[in-house]
């Protein structure tokens, strides 16, 4: 039977929710205070789950130090202390909702992790609002 | 692939565990100090999980402000600062174990949320005892 | 210089806030939903702080296993899975606000702990509301 | 002896650290990634501590529902989902470090709370960095 | 539909990661500071998940006091305040990675719990590194 | 008025409690399972509190990145993934109780931090047992 291993990291970022195809009134109605044009921000907590067989020589599913380095290089260095809307290429044309951020993180990490291993992302925007992908 | 979104709420309530078809001795033997006739209580933490496709216009699976309002209207206002055994209709003939409370919350919320979206309830009675439905 | 040691315990209890010298309307106006006649409840988290000099032979300010046993005997066994208003002698004529519960716990523990050691109580009613005595 | 009561609230905001009297190089050297011109953000956790005597009629130091309303009106509504540098008058000429935010919150709340009661502010910028005022 | 119930316990233990078939250099290269020959240690948090149907008489999936006693007898008493490599039979020839500890705990608990109930183990080595079995 | 800033770090270590001047029986009687000769371990959480005036140019009491580097160099690198009794000079003749570890950490950090600033150490051995120095 397979084992899942989890690694928790964090990054702090600014963002706003906005659909450029909508009027300001509709953006304000749908996204409320999350639409504030001068941005707000969060301490995002990110949990990366990797599932697979244990290697009989190490007793590891995978070396979590390597997973930690991959997450820092491909996600944390890119998102931490940034404005997601202005500074991060992936959100130039994509609304940075928690759902979309989780999918972007999955797409950034998937090519970096052995295809035999399953990958799942949990992202906490606050301790009361969080998302998981794939569900 | 689908995304899950989670919203955490809380309510504080009194309850006791009791089966009216049993003798006092059997109730005391099975439910122990949870059977105290004058009740005890908990800070319940409730996590509502909703799973579905992202709306391409909003980037949301569903608007969590609407989920929050639904949970407050149908669960929190009904249970918070109440005695579950005495004040809440659903437990007039149902023992308010964490398992049963989670199923009652699911049944209260299921009709209020779009049928295309899956729903799951996690309920913490304490940080050491919690339940999930459906499992 | 002195060192403080802290021990965290917990108990689950029912209570209501009520002043018997007031009308029902005034009780309801002042205590709101905390005045519900059929009670509500909390998971109380209790932190006991003991301050003194380190014993050079043990490196302890005091043996925390002994503090833990004192707290369980004099507080937890008395309050856990109880109705503070109905089951606990100390609240027969005292409103069980978090402030009053903390002072009662201090008064129960103070005679059990060496007079050379200072004592302070922190009591969490919820993770958002808590009190400290003496301040 | 006096009792302290604590109330925890939260707000999410964007900010950047910057001294307009310095060159860009010096700002970057001193404030590092916190100086990012397009901002970053945090989930701020705020703990308000109020210390005084218990009222013998209520058993309260003060009504925490009133403290909660004061904090929401004078702090949370002003800071939540805002850009501290751009949207909040108090930081037009003041660098929004955690230290300065805590002092500003104290100055906003002090006139709203009975002068007989002491006030202290704890502000978490992240769970690893936090400040307290007055110390 | 079935309900899952969770119980959280903890134990504090020393361990080191080491493969006796490898050279010291290879052990050091693969396991890094976790290979320290004089050991290091953790506060392990253990979550036991049991899934099944609710008993209509109790409203329980299973009595969590019984689960708690089983976990304490078969896991906590065996691992708590121990050196996993030196004191625990199961790790005489098995590297005590979090993955392997979770599998050993599952194998210790599985025979003690009714075969109609499903069992899953989550083990936190730190709040940033944790594992789940079966995944 | 002065402001306090706090920085939280962590390290994982093995230890045992033992007084070499006592018999094995007395050690076992006083220190219980903490006296296990093959050690046990903890995830220690360390909070460093620094108190002083705000610098008017930065708005900082002190640069927390510098505090973080000092703590990592003088404490974390020395204690993390180590056996406190065997690997750390300061505990060669000092019992590594939480109280003594906190005092050692204070003595390691005090010379590294500006004498105008006050210093206080909080050390969590577990989330239920922690100490503070100076108290």
Q: What is the mean pLDDT of chain D?
A: 98
At C2, which helix (H) or strand (E)? none
CB-based touch B/A (3+ pairs, under 8 A): yes
**Interface predicted TM-score (ipTM) over 0.90:** yes
Residue contact E83–F36, C-beta within 8 A? yes
Chain E residues whose CB is inside 8 A of the A127 CB are none
Beta bridge pairs of residue B47: B8, B122
- In terms of Cβ atoms closer than 10 Å to its own Cβ (0-12, 13-18, 19+), residue B115 is exposed
Q: How far is D26 from chain A (nearest CA, A)?
A: 18
Chains that touch D (3 or more CB pairs under 8 A): A, C, F
pLDDT in the model for residue A63: 96
Share of chain D above pLDDT 70, in %: 100
What are D45's strand-pairing partners?
D10, D124
Whether residue A81 lies within 8 A of chain B, CB to CB, comes out as no
| CB atoms C43 and B43 under 8 Å | yes
User: Please, what is the average pLDDT of chain B?
Assistant: 98
Query: Given this model, what pLDDT does residue C100 score?
Result: 98
DSSP letters of E10-59? EEEEEE----TTS-HHHHHHHHGGGG-TT-EEEEEEEEEEEEEPPPTTT-
Q: A58 vs chain B: nearest CA distance in angstroms?
A: 32
Token pair 């009491």 is at which residue? F61
pLDDT in tens, E8-42: 999 999 999 999 999 999 999 999 999 999 999 99
For chain A, the residue count is: 135
pLDDT (0 to 100) of residue B116: 97
Query: Using an 8 Å Cβ cutoff, are F20 and F68 in contact?
Result: no
- Contact status of E42 with chain F (Cβ, < 8 Å): yes
The DSSP bridge partners found for residue B92 are: none
Give, as one character, the DSSP assignment of residue A55.
P
> DSSP characters for chain F?
--EEEEEEEEEEEEE----TTS-HHHHHHHHGGGG-TT-EEEEEEEEEEEEEPPPTTT--SS-HHHHHHHHIIIIIHHHTTEEHHHH-GGGSSS---HHHHHHHHHHHHGGGS-TTSEEEEEEESSSSEEEEE--
Question: In this predicted structure, what is the pLDDT of residue F32?
Answer: 97
- Contact (CB<8Å) D59/C128: no
Q: Which residues make beta-bridge pairs with C3?
A: C52
Percent of chain B with pLDDT over 70: 100
Residue E36 has its nearest CB partner, among F33, F82, F127, at F82
Q: Confidence band (pLDDT; 50, 70, 90) for B53?
A: very high
Mapped to the 3 state alphabet, what secondary structure does A76-126 carry? HHHHCCEEHHHHCHHHCCCCCCHHHHHHHHHHHHHHHCCCCCEEEEEEECC
What phi and psi values does residue B59 have, to the nearest 5 degrees? 75, 10
pTM for this structure?
Answer: 0.97
Cβ–Cβ below 8 Å for F135 and C4: yes
pLDDT band at C29 (very low <50, low <70, confident <90, very high): very high
**Chain B contact present for A32, CB below 8 A:** yes
The verdict on C51 touching D (C-beta cutoff 8 Å) is no
Q: Which residues are CB-contacts of F42 (< 8 A; sequence separation ≥ 6)?
A: E12, E41, E42, E43, F12, F13, F15, F125, F126
Residue E58 to residue B30, Cβ atoms within 8 A: yes
Nearest Cβ partner of B95 from E2, E8, E59?
E59
For residues A47 and E127, is the Cβ–Cβ distance under 8 A? no
Contact between E41 and E11 under an 8 Å Cβ cutoff? The reply is no
Which pLDDT score is estimated for B22? 98
| Residue partners of B23: CB distance under 8 A and separation at least 6 | none
pLDDT tens-digit profile of E73-118?
999 999 999 999 999 999 999 999 999 999 999 999 999 999 999 9
Give me the mean pLDDT over the C107-113 stretch: 98
CATH of the domain at E10: 3.30.479.10
Q: Does D86 touch chain A (CB under 8 A)?
A: yes
Instruction: Give the Cα separation of E23 and A97 in Å (integer).
Output: 49
Q: Give yes or no for E127 touching B (CB within 8 A).
A: no
Q: Do F131 and C3 touch (CB under 8 A)?
A: yes
Q: Do chains A and D touch (3 or more CB pairs under 8 A)?
A: yes
C89 is an active site residue: no
d(CA D67, CA D64): 5
Q: Which residues contact D78 (CB under 8 A, 6 or more apart)?
A: D88, D108
Give the side-chain half-sphere CA count within 13 A for F122.
Answer: 15
What is the percent of chain C where pLDDT is above 70?
Answer: 100
pLDDT mean over B41-69:
97
- Say whether residue D69 is in contact with chain F using an 8 A CB cutoff: no
Helix, coil or strand: residue D7: strand
CA distance A18 to chain E (A): 33
**Between chains, do E97 and A63 touch, taking CB under 8 Å as contact?**
no
Is the CB of C135 less than 8 angstroms away from the CB of D8? no
State how far residue B133 is from chain E, nearest Cα, in angstroms. Answer: 5
Q: Per-residue pLDDT tens for C34-88?
A: 999 999 999 999 999 999 999 999 999 999 999 999 999 999 999 999 999 999 9
The number of folded domains in chain B is 1
Instruction: Count the Cβ atoms, other than its own, within 10 Å of residue E125.
Output: 23
Which pLDDT score, from 0 to 100, does residue C36 have?
Answer: 97
pLDDT at F39: 98
Would you state the pLDDT for residue F116?
97
Residue A74, classified by CB atoms within 10 Å of its CB into exposed (0-12), middle (13-18) or buried (19+), is: middle
3-state secondary structure of B125: coil
Task: Give all chains having 3 or more CB-to-CB distances under 8 Å with chain F.
Answer: C, D, E
What CA–CA distance (Å, rounded) separates A67 from A73?
10
Chains that touch E (3 or more CB pairs under 8 A): A, B, F
Given a cut of 70, the residues of chain F with pLDDT beneath it are: none
Closest-CA distance, E64 to chain B, in angstroms, reads: 8
Give mean pLDDT, residues A45-65: 97
Q: Facing residues of F94 across strands?
A: none
Q: Choose the mutation target among A39, A42, A78, A86 for the interface with D, i.e. most D CBs under 10 Å.
A: A39
Chains sharing 3 or more CB pairs under 8 A with chain C: B, D, F
> How far is D15 from D39, CA to CA, in rounded Å?
5
Cα radius of gyration rounded to whole Å, chain C: 17
| Segment D69-88, tens digit of pLDDT | 999 999 999 999 999 999 99
Burial of F115 (0-12, 13-18, 19+ CB in 10 A): exposed
Residues of D in contact with F118 (CB under 8 A): 135
Q: What is the rounded average pLDDT for all residues in chain E?
A: 98
Candidates C15, C18, C34, C62; catalytic one: C34
Mapped to the 3 state alphabet, what secondary structure does F101-115 carry? HHHHHHHHHHHHCCC
pLDDT tens digit sequence for C84-102: 999 999 999 999 999 999 9
Judging contact as 3 or more Cβ pairs under 8 Å, the answer for B and C is yes
pLDDT at D45: 98
Phi, psi angle pair for D50, to nearest 5°: -125, 130
Distance from C-alpha of A48 to C-alpha of A5, rounded to nearest angstrom:
8
pLDDT at C22: 98
Read off the tokens for B3. 């995304």
CA–CA min distance E93, chain A (Å): 11
Q: Is E29 on the interface with A (CB under 8 A)?
A: no
Across the A/E interface, how many CB contacts are shorter than 8 Å? 59
| Domain coverage including residue A51 | 2-133
Instruction: Give C82's strand partners.
Output: C13
3-state secondary structure of A8: strand
* pLDDT at res. B62: 97
């Amino acid at each position: 039977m397979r084992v899942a291993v989890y690694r928790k990291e964090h990054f702090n970022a600014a963002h706003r929710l906005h659909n450029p195809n909508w009027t300001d009134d509709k953006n304000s109605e749908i996204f409320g205070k999350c639409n504030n044009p001068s941005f707000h921000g969060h301490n995002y907590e990110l949990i990366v789950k990797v599932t697979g067989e244990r290697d009989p020589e190490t007793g590891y599913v995978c070396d979590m130090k390597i997973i930690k380095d991959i997450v820092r290089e491909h996600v944390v260095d890119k998102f931490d202390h940034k404005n997601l809307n202005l500074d991060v290429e992936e959100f130039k044309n994509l609304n940075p909702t928690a759902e979309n951020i989780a999918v972007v993180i999955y797409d950034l990490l998937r090519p970096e992790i052995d295809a035999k291993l399953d990958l799942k992302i949990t992202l906490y925007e606050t301790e009361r609002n969080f998302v998981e992908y794939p569900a």
